[in-house]
């Protein structure tokens, strides 16, 4: 299981003051030293955390492959092509959202998507699509000719949080918060079974499978045990823990959790 560390939240903290501290660039050497496999950053259209300059410097300086997340918008794709990261993960974006709330709505007729993928491939960049775990997302992704899919694990994380921590409000706001524990457990089991069977199907189709969103030290184990998921991209929980134990230990603890 490979770990991609999403370092956006270092820039979130910096942007709170609009100064140059903390600098996400400083995370690179720590990630390299502790054996992280990938750096993940999201260059949002509203530039709320990672800025163009960050993306450029991170891609140039990182010894690890960089996975750049961006929206399917021609301007963003042009920027991504010029930056030439190892991989681009296309994600849906809404201005009002706190974080990426769900997977892409995929269509073979969507020329923004088909042209965007073509353009990225022409620049030698591998492409991943951030999708909800559904059969349709799999088959359309295959038809679109991408190398990777990344399953959005937000629904899983949300059910897990409701079941185990009794959190009443999460950003995914599932409508089942007052369900009995046995029902929530069934939902969790079925979410995991779905991720497992779709990952196996994706593997048979020749797609690489990543997963991410809402994964943390408590809920990651079951996802990490799914054989056909090759990579996890994790941000919030690692950066949050790094405040208390430092980035190096926070990553080491996550590596231990996904072993």
220 lies in the binding site for ligand PXP (CB under 6 A): no
8 Å CB contact between 8 and 67: no
Based on the shown chain and the rule CB under 6 A, indicate whether residue 199 belongs to the binding site for ligand PXP.
Answer: no
Residues 154-193 that bind ligand PXP (CB under 6 A): none
CB of 227 to ligand PXP, least distance (A): 20
38 binds ligand PXP (CB under 6 A): no
CB pairs under 8 A, 24+ apart, for 16-20? none
Q: Is 152 a catalytic residue?
A: no
Is 212 a binding residue for ligand PXP by CB under 6 A? The answer is: yes
Token pair in block for residue 30: 């720590």
d(CA 121, CA 186): 41
Residue 236 makes contact with ligand PXP by CB under 6 A:
yes
CA torsion 167-227-253-131 (nearest 10°) is -50
Q: Contacting ligand PXP (CB under 6 A), which of 38, 62, 100, 141? A: 100
Nearer to ligand PXP, 50 or 192 (CB): 50
Interaction pattern, residues 52-71, with ligand PXP; x per rule: CB under 6 A: -----------------x--
Up-side HSE of residue 228: CA atoms within 13 Å toward CB? Answer: 22
φ, ψ for residue 182 (rounded to 5)? Answer: -65, -35
Q: Which of 9, 49, 69, 172 is catalytic?
A: 69
Going by C-alpha positions, the residue among 229, 219, 224 that lies closest to residue 199 is 229
How far is Cα 159 from Cα 72, in angstroms, rounded to an integer? 29
Closest CA to 239 of 40, 104, 56: 40
Binding-site member from 43, 199, 214, 219 for ligand PXP (CB under 6 A): 214
Give whichever of 179 and 228 is closer to ligand PXP, judged by the CB atom: 228
208 is a catalytic site residue: no
| # residues contacting ligand PXP (CB under 6 A) | 19
**Residue 84 in contact with residue 123, Cβ under 8 Å?**
yes
Tokens of 155: 């629904």
Beta carbons of 162 and 177 less than 8 angstroms apart: yes
Q: Is 6 in the site for ligand PXP (CB under 6 A)?
A: yes
Q: Is 234 in the site for ligand PXP (CB under 6 A)?
A: yes
Our finding on whether 215 is near ligand PXP (CB under 6 A) is yes
Does 233 interact with ligand PXP (rule: CB under 6 A)? yes
Which one of 78-86, 139-147, 208-216, 221-229 is the stretch in contact with ligand PXP (CB under 6 A)? 208-216
The whole-angstrom separation of Cα 124 and Cα 134 is 28
Which member of 93, 172, 213, 231 is catalytic? 213
Q: Which is nearer to ligand PXP, 16 or 180 (CB)?
A: 16
Question: What's the distance, CA 66 to chain centroid?
Answer: 12
Residues that bind ligand PXP (CB under 6 A): 6, 8, 42, 69, 89, 91, 99-100, 130, 150, 212-215, 233-237
Catalytic residue set = 42, 69, 213
């Amino acid at each position: 299981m490979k770990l991609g560390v999403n370092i956006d939240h270092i820039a979130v903290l910096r942007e709170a003051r609009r100064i140059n501290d903390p600098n996400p660039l400083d995370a690179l050497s720590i990630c390299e030293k502790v054996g992280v496999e990938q750096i993940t950053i999201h260059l949002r259209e509203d530039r709320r955390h990672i800025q163009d300059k960050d993306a450029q410097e991170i891609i140039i300086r990182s010894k690890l492959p960089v996975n750049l997340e961006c929206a399917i918008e021609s301007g963003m794709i042009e920027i991504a092509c010029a930056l030439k990261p190892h991989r681009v993960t296309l994600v849906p974006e809404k201005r009002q959202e706190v974080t990426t709330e769900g997977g892409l709505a995929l269509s073979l007729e969507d020329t923004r998507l088909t042209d965007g993928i073509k353009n990225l491939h022409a620049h030698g960049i591998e492409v991943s699509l951030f999708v909800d775990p559904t059969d349709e997302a799999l088959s359309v992704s295959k038809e679109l000719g991408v190398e990777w899919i990344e399953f959005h694990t937000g629904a899983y994380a949300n059910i897990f949080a409701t079941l185990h921590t009794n959190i009443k409000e999460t950003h995914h706001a599932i409508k089942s918060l007052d369900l009995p524990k046995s029902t929530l457990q069934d939902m969790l089991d079925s979410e995991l079974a779905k991720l497992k069977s779709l990952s196996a199907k994706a593997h048979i189709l020749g797609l690489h499978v990543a997963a991410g969103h809402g994964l943390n030290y408590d809920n990651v184990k079951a996802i990490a045990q799914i054989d056909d998921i090759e990579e996890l991209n994790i941000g919030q929980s690692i950066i949050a823990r790094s405040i208390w134990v430092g980035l190096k230990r926070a990553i080491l603890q996550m590596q231990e959790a996904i072993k």
